[in-house]
Chains A and B, each alone.
Chain A
Amino acid sequence: MANILAVDDSASMRQMVSHTLKQNGHSVVDAPDGKAALDKAKQQKFDAVITDVNMPNMDGITLIKELRKLPNYRFTPLLLLTTESAPEKKQEGKAAGATGWLVKPFDPEKLMGAVRKVVR
């Protein structure tokens, strides 16, 4: 079971992601924006990070760039949870260092499918 950091500025989205992951046996820490997430990621090592793109303070793309700079997160799965299915956005995410992406609307099965791709 993995220790996962879930980042989203929307409380309902955070709750849904956390709930789904916990139901599937993972432990979850959440954060409301990229900045808070980065702080938490520095305090403890997560096995995977799932982040929204559009957030105040620090957006998801910047968060991924910053995380990849940390020695602890060079190989860590970092997933983008995004509403944009446009290919440019995916490319931007990949270029920043994202492992993969998940397109909203949020669906528990899709989330778990994506998580299974990167952690046990």
Chain B
Amino acid sequence: MSIDMNQFLQTFFEESFEGLDDMENGLLNMTAGEPDVEQLNDIFRAAHSIKGGAGTFGLNSVTDLTHKLETLLDRLREGESEVTTDGINLLLASVDCLRSLLQAERDGTEADPQQAADITTRLAAMVDADDDDGSSDGNAGDDAGSSATADDGSGPGGGWRIGFTPEPHLFMTGNDPLRLLEELSELGEIQVSCDSSSLPALPDLDPEECVLSWTIDLYGDVERQAIEEVFEWVEDDCSLTIEPLEPAGGDTTTAAPETAPEPEAASAGEPAGDDAHQKPAQQSSGGNASTSSSIRVDTGKIDNLIDMVGELVITQSMLNELGENFTMDKLEKLQDGLAQLERNTRELQENVMRIRMVPISFAYSRLPRMVHDLMRQLGKKVDLQLNGEETELDKTVMEKIIDPLVHLVRNAMDHGIEPPEKRAELGKPETGTLEMNAYHKGGYIVIEINDDGGGISRDRLLNKAREAGLMENGSELSDEQVFDFIFHPGLSTHDEATDVSGRGVGMDVVKRNIKALGGNITVNSTPGKGTRFAIHLPLTLSILDGQLFRVGDQVYVVPLISIMESLQMQGGKIKRMAGTSELYEWRDDYIPIIRLRELFNEAGGGDLENELMVVVEEDDRYVGLHVDELLGQQQVVIKSLKSNYRPVTGFAGATILGNGTVALILDIAGLLELAQARDEVLTKGANN
């Protein structure tokens, strides 16, 4: 029976990535010249586990690299090699390399073989530099060493006579002679004689001691090594002799092949040989890990859920009882019960949502390493402070926020914080501070990135914006509006964007990514003092605050966060452009109007005057949605159209309302696309 080990590959990848993170953290906390044995042990153990698993799954490149890594780590923790800055950096590079190798294996892509080869060579060089006696090859040479003794015994074909005299303490090792004899019998036919001459009289017998010895004749073409392997665990607990069976008479040679057919003997010896190493490699070489994602949940959260379900059951049985013999005088009791049910349900809902939440330390974890590398690269000194590590965030949001965070930190390091000399000149401490905060505020998570660097020059940013034609000359803008320009694609793609205090490269992408998560990013800066970015993110992606409205006889939902204003249209402000497009004068600007009735193929066009319009914003584009009636605001649970039906442009999903009907949730970006397809001039720039 063969067992498919690939089902455990996913677990292996997860624990390996965790192990790599631990290694990285440990390495970052290490100081050259001050080896911390505890820490080195932890790092070693992580590498060791990865190596063990990689071997099983046949990930040879990972095995090779971890093997070298282990050798170096072992020497470091034994104090045979010194912990140097170069050493730490090489170890960190190895961690990176392992990570990409494992990622490639997981995703079924090709890793860069050159990188792994490079690192392996450098690791070997570092080990060799410290030591020329070649002891690092100890492990590799071991297998060969043990088989060397077997070279003389490829089996004479006639079998072996084995003398096995265990020491009295054999049982205490957990070994049992009977099992050993059984194993021998798997190699070929055996004939066993037991020597019980040392058996004392019953009263003197100590049942815990082994006082018997055996002589075993094993027939067949068995390799000596196979026999030695049977006794491998007890070779120090017994005296063992293995001699070729002497032919008893003139021509007994014919007896041997008869008693032990060759194929059997051969197959019995095989699994113990080197072939065993090859098998797992073949098993998993073609198999990719399934990409199903999993989440680690604190058991406390699950216990909470169980408690709550318990309460729910109690409430339910209470209501049941009440319902069975209900009279009007119990109405108050019923209302209490229903209120309790509502409380239970809400708590349960909140706690179920919490299962998807992971602490932000998950996103933080890669920052120390990055800051460490950038410090070296840029020649700057930065103290990274991570606060609010326990703050929890939806797992999906977390995964998507990492890239923007990395970008912002990189920017702050690169362009915000000044080089040490300049800081000294300015009377600032040489070491800059980069502070990250994460906390809950309302229904949002706030992540702040503060640096005490040079800040953004408002005037230069303003000039840039003017040059790029983003604003009229002479118009007055608030600080907030000015700083918001750094997220403008027009500025960020500009060649000299780095002149704007360096910020701007790809900032539009950062903002877009955060917007896509239903969040927002703002920036504030004081020249000479530093810059603060604040990211607001919704607690979860699966629930949103929505505004309900009616078009025709259907109810729709629009995310509250995208709504700028709801208003009753004034006739004088509606402008008709060439073709069918209509614009509305709104806040000194003209915005396109989308008649949802038309878009959704509902009957009735008519005059827009006095009709309702919801102004929504997406990516700095504004559009007015003409709706029939505004209904209430409420939290809605988003159900994906894509996974339940198919993706539909203009809709972000659907939800089920309190009365059981389904309402579609609008996707503003998609709506803009739809409207544009219908009428190509419906853009903000149409009025120019």
Contact = CB atoms under 8 A, between A and B. Distances in A.
B171 interface: yes
B629 interface: no
B56 A104 contact: yes
Q: Name the residue among A10, A105, A113, A117 with the largest chain B CB count within 10 angstroms.
A: A105
Given A74-B172, A107-B276, A86 B53 contact: no
B5 A118 contact: no
Contact of A117 (B42, B233, B277): B233
A84 B48 CA distance: 10
B49 A16 contact: no
A118 B45 contact: no
A20 B56 CA distance: 13
A85 interface: yes
A43 interface: no
A104 B277 CA distance: 9
A116 B183 contact: yes
A111 B233 CA distance: 14
B35 interface: no
Nearest to A108: B3
Contacts of B272: 113
B180 A55 contact: no
Interface in A80-111: 83-87, 94, 97-101, 104-110
Contacts, number: 122
A101 to B, nearest CB: 7
B172 A97 contact: yes
A30 interface: no
B139 A84 contact: yes
Contact of A10 (B53, B139, B146): B53
Given A78-B174, A86-B139, A99-B175, A12 B3 contact: no
Interface stretch (B7-15, B358-366, B530-538, B590-598): B7-15
A23 B3 contact: yes
Contacts of A10: 12, 15, 49, 52-53
Given A55-B45, A105-B56, A110 B5 contact: no
A54 B43 CA distance: 11
A76 B174 contact: yes
A100 B171 CA distance: 12
B171 A75 contact: yes
B53 A54 contact: no
A13 interface: yes
A86 B52 contact: no
B279 interface: yes
B271 interface: yes
A107 B45 contact: no
Interface string A5-35: 0000111110110011001000000000000
Contacts of A101: 233
Given A11-B15, A100-B233, A83 B3 contact: no
B173 interface: yes
A5 B139 CA distance: 28
B267 to A, nearest CB: 12
Contacts of B276: 107, 109-110
A13 B7 CA distance: 12
A117 B56 contact: no
B176 A13 contact: no
Contacts of A68: 172
Interface in B644-668: none
Given A10-B15, A10-B49, A108 B5 contact: yes
Contacts of A76: 174
Given A10-B15, A74-B172, A83 B52 contact: yes
Contacts of A74: 172, 208
Nearest to A9: B49
B142 A87 contact: yes
A88 B1 CA distance: 34
B143 interface: yes
A13 B50 CA distance: 10
Contacts of B51: 83
A54 B5 CA distance: 22
A113 B172 contact: no
A75 B52 contact: no
Contacts of A75: 171-172, 174, 208
B42 A56 contact: yes
Given A86-B142, A99-B233, A118-B174, A106 B52 contact: yes
Interface string B181-199: 0010000000000000000
B368 interface: no
Contacts of B171: 75
Given A101-B233, A104-B52, A106-B56, A12 B142 contact: no
A77 B142 CA distance: 25
A94 B173 contact: yes
Contacts of B53: 10, 12-13, 106
B280 interface: yes
8 contacts: A12-B8, A16-B8, A19-B3, A20-B3, A76-B174, A84-B139, A85-B143, A107-B279
* 8 A-B pairs with least C-beta separation: A105-B55, A99-B174, A100-B233, A12-B12, A77-B174, A12-B11, A106-B56, A105-B56
Interface of B: 1-3, 5, 7-9, 11-12, 14-15, 42, 44-45, 48-49, 51-56, 63, 138-139, 142-143, 146, 171-176, 179-180, 183, 208, 232-233, 236, 271-272, 276-277, 279-280
Interface of A: 9-13, 15-16, 19-20, 23, 48, 52, 54-56, 68, 74-78, 83-87, 94, 97-101, 104-110, 113, 116-118
Given A10-B53, A75-B208, 9 more contacts: A11-B15, A20-B3, A55-B45, A56-B42, A74-B172, A74-B208, A94-B233, A99-B173, A105-B277
